[in-house]
Amino acid sequence: MAGFLDALSGPEAADALGPDSIVLVPVGAIEQHGPHMPLSVDYVIADAAAKAVVEMLGDELDVWMIPTLPYSKSNEHAWSPGTMWLSHTTMQHLLGDIGRCVAASGTRRIVFLNGHGGNTTLLNVACRELRLEHGLLTFLAHAFIPPAYSSAPPSDADTSELGMGIHGGHRETSVMMHLRPDLVHLERASRNVPEWLAENEHVRFGGTVQFGWLSNDFGPDGHIGDPTGASADAGKVMFEDAVRVVCDQLREIATFDFP
């Protein structure tokens, strides 16, 4: 069955977790998302997506969610008051300790459900390290993939944002308007798309050359994209689609193993 590990007692957890169980670790962030959205965007989305996945899977898969990590590697937003970020060494130790506990429980599969794009590289490293150190089957999935990193066909909003609505843009704002409309102030939103970057063939978001950046490299407001046309209706569709995709991913993860 699918459930919430922290709601179990110690003996119940010992009975529930076995070699075929999946431990789901949502990873959020507390970081600026422009003047129109709260610091908690990535935490809210990762947490809500993980909970929806558990509820949707019900008795179908042996998946156990642990509480969502609120803080992660967000130092591209360190310039902004309110952003809470972990160093790469602290985060690696944290992920390593969680993996150690999962392995000690007798479970073989751990899935990081990432809600913040800035975590991706470190989470990939953690997957490799936990595979090596504990023999775990390790996986990285995303609660919400920015358009620059998605293989899905571009939407009208992606086209308008030139594929660069990666932080506080149309998608994230729409999803937050669906999940927590009380925390979104669309009247403060503005378009902030770095059109000069779209002229590059390689050095661009989603290009063949990655580059280091801070969110205020693209202006003082800190968001990257165009949230002005966001809507709760669009966010509902996006969120529900994302949850279905993660459920499909977990179905494959549940049977994945090396020969």
Tell how strand 22-27 and strand 63-65 pair up: parallel
60: left (phi over 0), alpha (psi -120 to 50) or beta: alpha
User: Structural domain tally of the chain?
Assistant: 1
DSSP code, position 40:
T
Q: Which CATH number fits the domain that encloses residue 190?
A: 3.40.50.10310
Determine the pLDDT at residue 152: 58
Kindly compute the dihedral angle of the four CA atoms of residues 15, 16, 21, 23, in this order, to the nearest 10 degrees.
-120
Which residues make Cβ contacts (< 8 Å) with residue 111, sequence separation at least 6? 22, 23, 24, 25, 138, 139, 140, 141, 250, 253
| CA 31 to chain CA centroid, nearest Å | 13
**Within a 13 Å sphere around the CA of 133, how many CA atoms are in the beta-carbon half?**
17
Determine the pLDDT at residue 1: 84
Determine the pLDDT at residue 163: 86
pTM of the model: 0.94
User: What pLDDT tens digit does each residue of the chain (259 aa) get?
Assistant: 889 999 999 999 999 999 999 999 999 999 999 999 999 999 999 999 999 999 999 989 999 999 999 999 999 999 999 999 999 999 999 999 999 999 999 999 999 999 999 999 999 999 999 999 999 999 999 998 766 565 555 666 667 899 889 999 999 999 999 999 999 999 999 999 999 998 999 999 888 999 999 999 999 999 999 999 999 999 999 999 999 999 999 999 999 999 9
What phi, psi does 226 have (nearest 5°)? -135, 95
Alpha helices in 24-169 (DSSP H): 41-57, 88-104, 120-134, 156-160
**Hey, is 112 helix, strand or coil?**
strand
Determine the pLDDT at residue 148: 58
Determine the pLDDT at residue 145: 72
Domain span including residue 75: 3-255
